Amino acid sequence: MKKNLSIIVALLLGFNITMAWAQKNQLPNSPGKETLENAAKPIGKTLSEHQSNKKFKTEKGGQNNRPGRGSTLPLAILHIEYEEFGGIDTVSLNLLKYKTGSELVEESISQTYNSNGLHENNTKIINTYTQSDEINLTEIMLWNAIKLQWEPYLKYEYLIGSKGEDEGIISYAWNIPSGSWAIDFGFKSEHTYNGSGKIEFITYSSYEGAWELKSKEERLYNGNGFWASSIYYSFDNNNWELNWMEEYTLNTSGEWTEILGKEWNNSTMAWADEYKIIGLNWHNFEKLIFADYTLQYYTTPGWENFFRVTATYNSNNNLLSELFLSWNGLNWEPLEQELNTYDSFYNLTEQLYQEFNGTNWETLWGEQISYIYDADGKIEFIEHFTLYNNNWEKYWKEVYLYTLPEPVIIQKLTYGNTGFSLAPNPAKENIKVRFNSDTAGIITVYNISGKVVIKENIPSSASQVVIDLTHLEAGIYFIQFNNGASANTKKFIKTTSF
């Protein structure tokens, strides 16, 4: 996860996180309302909270977008979640449809496997785009297993301003009694421009039963047209009330080299110095990606150092390292650091969060990501590992499918005279198949993507067979016995240890 000033843009715009969520086609969770509360938030203040927000990061890493390399798009992505000690927890399949001539996903159907190894519909996500390929609507539908039909659940409308800027999101929930959509919550950030075409005001409002004004940002420019200060207001008792102010020290190119944050004091009716960001150097000012800065707070004696941040990036603007130093009153001491590694295609391959214990760096959390490509450059699978008790353990895996799984895994199966049992399950080196009756047929073993990995003819005289599994990778498999008239399928797990 990038920890740079681009996250501030997401906070100020208020819903870029939601956009990312929709485009990644995750399961239907409402975009966090806490994001809306960070609307008109001073940039420097967000920076001042950057380290404290980072310090308590303990959650596992999120999924990346489809990695770059190869132009062929997958038709489906198989997602496998692993349990804490290596076993497989859940398996789901995402079927993908794309907008014509682009990599944009128009439809994604999520399916899960039931105990018989059959796909069951779960959710459908439908994205609608503008002519300029900006997403403007996402609809989420749930599968009704009783009625065997898709039913509306949630809908997100993304608001786009006159200049293409993001201006908010409206969330709708399907009202079953009325059979219509009703607004659940919403967030707007309306832009007003001055005569020079620069942003003068951004007004934020939210919907919780009715639209209400929440906050406002006013931007002021110097004689050269550079953004020089911002004033932040909150809306209370039907009035705009002063809240925060930031003044930016600029170099000759208009880049900020210092940020002075002030809080409005209602008692003195004056601005009071609160924080200062000095030594602000940029890796890329246009994209608001910093290189280093120092945070100071104003106390009764004067300005005091608090923490310092130094970051490095590669040529693709990916964060390589970020070091946090704390001030002990005399010197700077190392506190925390993030270290990232990328492959030649700028895919993140390792991410470490470390804390300094006074002598050495200790890893608090880590993630490794492996990308496997075929000879044509198409991604075959991505595997994630998380650091647990100083050991790398499987977390989740995605298998990219360019042909859909075999119909035998998806179709509804009939269970004539084809009963059998499996033992052991999970299995390590081999698995014994015991038949309930003497019937000739074919045993077929499929991997999780529907590919045939074992196929054997079974004579009617056989009451059981032993299947060698030593050449198979650990994972979930499906074994089917078909006598030509009916078929039965069971699931088993191949493991490398017990």
Q: What is the DSSP string of 317-374?
A: --EEEEEEEEE-SSSEEEEEEEEEEE-TT--EEEEEEEEE-SSSEEEEEEEEEEEEE-
Outline which parts of the chain fall under CATH 2.60.40.3080: 407-494
State the Cα–Cα distance between residues 420 and 322, nearest whole angstrom: 57
State the Cα–Cα distance between residues 387 and 197, nearest whole angstrom: 49
State the Cα–Cα distance between residues 172 and 54, nearest whole angstrom: 32
Instruction: Give yes or no for a contact between 196 and 186, defined as CB atoms under 8 angstroms apart.
Output: no
Query: What pLDDT band is residue 4 in, cutting at 50, 70 and 90?
Result: very low
- Name the residue among 85, 96, 143 with its Cα closest to residue 398: 96
Predicted local confidence at residue 85, as pLDDT: 55
State the Cα–Cα distance between residues 226 and 246, nearest whole angstrom: 14
Query: What pLDDT band is residue 91 in, cutting at 50, 70 and 90?
Result: confident
The set of residues, in sequence order, having a beta carbon less than 8 Å from that of 51 and lying 6+ positions away, is 295, 307, 309, 324, 335, 336
390 vs 244, higher pLDDT? 244
State the Cα–Cα distance between residues 21 and 35, nearest whole angstrom: 13
The predicted model scores a pTM of 0.69
For the stretch 336-357, what's the b/e string if a residue is b when 16 or more beta carbons lie within 10 angstroms of its beta carbon? bbbbbebeeeebbebbbbbbbe
Segment 113-120 shows an average pLDDT of 64
**Look-up: residue for tokens 């038949």?**
435
Predicted local confidence at residue 434, as pLDDT: 87
Q: What percentage of residues in the chain have a pLDDT greater than 70?
A: 79
Instruction: Give yes or no for a contact between 457 and 442, defined as CB atoms under 8 angstroms apart.
Output: yes
Query: What pLDDT band is residue 37 in, cutting at 50, 70 and 90?
Result: very low
Bridge partners (DSSP) listed for residue 355: 336, 362
Phi (first) and psi of residue 33, to 5 degrees: -70, -20
What rounded mean pLDDT belongs to the chain? 80
Segment 403-424 shows an average pLDDT of 57
Predicted local confidence at residue 11, as pLDDT: 27
Predicted local confidence at residue 394, as pLDDT: 83
Containing 74, the helix (H) or strand (E) segment is none
Confidence check: pLDDT of 15 > 90: no
Bridge partners (DSSP) listed for residue 111: 93, 121
Q: Report the range out of 230-239, 370-379, 424-433, 461-470 with the highest average pLDDT.
A: 230-239
CA distances from 435 to 118, 356, 401, 409, 450 (A): 21, 60, 33, 21, 23
Which amino acid, one-letter code, is at 21?
A: W
Segment 13-23 shows an average pLDDT of 27
Choices 2.60.40.3080, 3.40.50.300, 3.40.30.10, 3.40.50.720: CATH for 407-494? 2.60.40.3080
- DSSP result, 190-224: EEEE-TTS-EEEEEEEEESSSEEEEEEEEEEE-TT
Predicted local confidence at residue 358, as pLDDT: 92
CA distances from 126 to 98, 166, 200, 456 (A): 10, 20, 35, 42
The per-residue pLDDT for range 317-339, each reduced to its tens digit, is 999 999 999 999 999 999 999 99
